[in-house]
């Protein structure tokens, strides 16, 4: 499934690393949202990407923008990952129903049981404004996210 720029982004409600429910809908009318799917907690490229976001967090998690990082790892793995790396943004679990949000965004890899690297910028009205999907071994470029956010 491929999402279309200019259409409503699929809503989801997932638990964060603390077990609290977070929905995309809850940010509608309040914040733009960067939804970032990643394959596995504690893996090399994923850790590098999320640490780069952590180190430049003000650009992606502020009064106008919410960053939501999502993988199919269980909540306790997400919590350990976030605590070990010092992530101060929501790290959501798409564990059960397994990959439901990843599938809705067209980034679930059935053969591996994980999300590929998909990033989606959603405006305050809930409309998809930008997306990029990379393979499992292809790291993303934060400069691209910043440009997409600046265009909103």
Q: Which residue numbers are catalytic? A: 46
DSSP states along 40-102: -TT-HHHHHHHHHHHHTGGGTSSSSEEEEEEESS-HHHHHHHHHHHT--S-EEE-TTTTTHHH
- d(CA 75, CA 42) in angstroms, rounded, equals 13
- d(CA 59, CA 144) in angstroms, rounded, equals 12
């Amino acid at each position: 499934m491929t999402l279309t720029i200019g259409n409503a982004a699929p809503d989801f409600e997932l638990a964060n690393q603390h077990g609290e429910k977070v929905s995309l809908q809850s940010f509608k009318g309040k914040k733009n949202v960067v939804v970032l799917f990643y394959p596995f907690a504690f893996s090399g490229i994923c850790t590098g990407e999320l640490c780069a976001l952590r180190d430049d967090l003000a650009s992606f998690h502020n009064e106008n923008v919410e960053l939501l990082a999502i993988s199919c790892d269980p909540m306790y793995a997400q919590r350990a990952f976030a605590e070990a790396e010092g992530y101060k943004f929501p790290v959501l679990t798409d564990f059960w129903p397994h990959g439901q949000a990843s599938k809705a965004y067209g980034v679930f890899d059935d053969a591996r049981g994980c999300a590929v690297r998909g990033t989606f910028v959603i405006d305050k009205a809930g409309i998809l404004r930008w997306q990029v999907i990379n393979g499992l071994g292809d790291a993303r470029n934060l400069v691209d996210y910043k440009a997409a956010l600046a265009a909103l």
